[in-house]
Amino acid sequence: MSDPLTLFTRGGSSLPTIIRQTSTRAGLHPEAAALFDSLERSGILSGRPESQPLATARARAQSFWYPWNTGGPRMRLRRDLSLDGSDGPLAARLFIPCSASTEPPVIVYFHGGGYALNGLDTHDRLMRTLADASGAAVLGVGYALAPEHPFPTQAAQALSAIDWLLRRGRRDFAIDARRMALAGDSAGAHLALWTAQSMREADWPAARMLLLAYGMMVPRFDSASHALYGGGAYGLTTERMRWFWNAVPPAQGRPFTPLTAGLDDLPSCLVVGAGADCLRDDSRALAEALELRDAPVRFIEAEGLPHSFLQYAPALEPARRLLGDLASTLARSLESGAPVRWS
């Protein structure tokens, strides 16, 4: 069997060869290119921790994402919670959509941001949209940020949130936590996969499905997608990814990269890559590693869409359409009574 880490550099059909860009944003969907051009002309930039004080980068990230979280679906319940975390109170936000049935299933959502940026507010509309389109409750986990809180603090907090759901979800909010999916984007996809592996090792009830969107999976920067899309014209940069990985030290006791932490006996995985993203090949490598283990995985690559396209969905029609399809797939898995096996 191939080592998953070698998938970034080996030849053959797994990954494309490195080619040079022929334009500033070659390969980017026209709607995404127009959006980026508009943001650039307006001087609207997200946080850049590699070149700003971290407090400034965090404030700018919150400000950047604020407009994308206005509007959107209304909820039957939207409530901020303080859970008993592994090392103190843990912020969380619960969404129950108007479309929810009695005792709905639940999607546990982990936000992206390189473990160092963002939070519940930057992903509020995305979580509401997932809840509305799937009919499931969504619990967003506001884990502590690095580098002040080194990994595996976030992993322990993720398990605390799931433990709370299993113990109190039905009693406090009429949620059926036995029907659970784990989802996340970027660093949140990393945390969702890590959490599923930790639940397996602790012999906890398994989630029905994992939704892993443009995940931050491997601290390697020599892939084709980093060469093509890591320079700054497509949003996320290789330089920023180096900063994020350096801000999160390796976990104690086992590799920090989920691809090397065991991919057997996992829930069905829906791996979603962004086609114009320096992390595109992280998603490809994860999907191929799961396939090599004969694990239940479905891989979708959103052609021409950039990193964070799920948050940009209000302005990008192909992202909105794909988000609806992902929510429908989660709904079918959560309602079916058994984990999905992809054909």
> CA-CA distance, 45 to 103, in Å (whole number)?
41
Q: Show which residues are catalytic.
A: 186, 277, 307
Rounded CA separation 229/152 (Å): 29
Orientation angle between helical segments 153-173 and 187-201, nearest 10 degrees: 80
Closest to 103 measured CA to CA, from 179, 181, 210, 211? 179
- The DSSP 8-state label assigned to residue 78 in this structure reads E
β pairing state of 180-185 and 106-110: parallel
Closest CA to 185 of 251, 253, 235: 235
Q: CA angle, 140 as apex, 181 and 33 as ends, to 5°?
A: 90
Please enumerate in sequence order all residues whose Cβ is within 8 A of that of 338, keeping only pairs 6 or more positions apart, or say none. 208
Distance CA(263)–CA(128), nearest Å, equals 30
CA 57 to chain CA centroid, nearest Å = 20
CA distances from 227 to 11, 231, 245 (A): 16, 8, 18
What are the tokens at 297? 């995985």
* Phi, psi for residue 31 in degrees, rounded to 5: -65, -40
Tokens 């303080």 sit on residue: 82
Report the first-to-last Cα separation within the chain, whole angstroms. Answer: 22
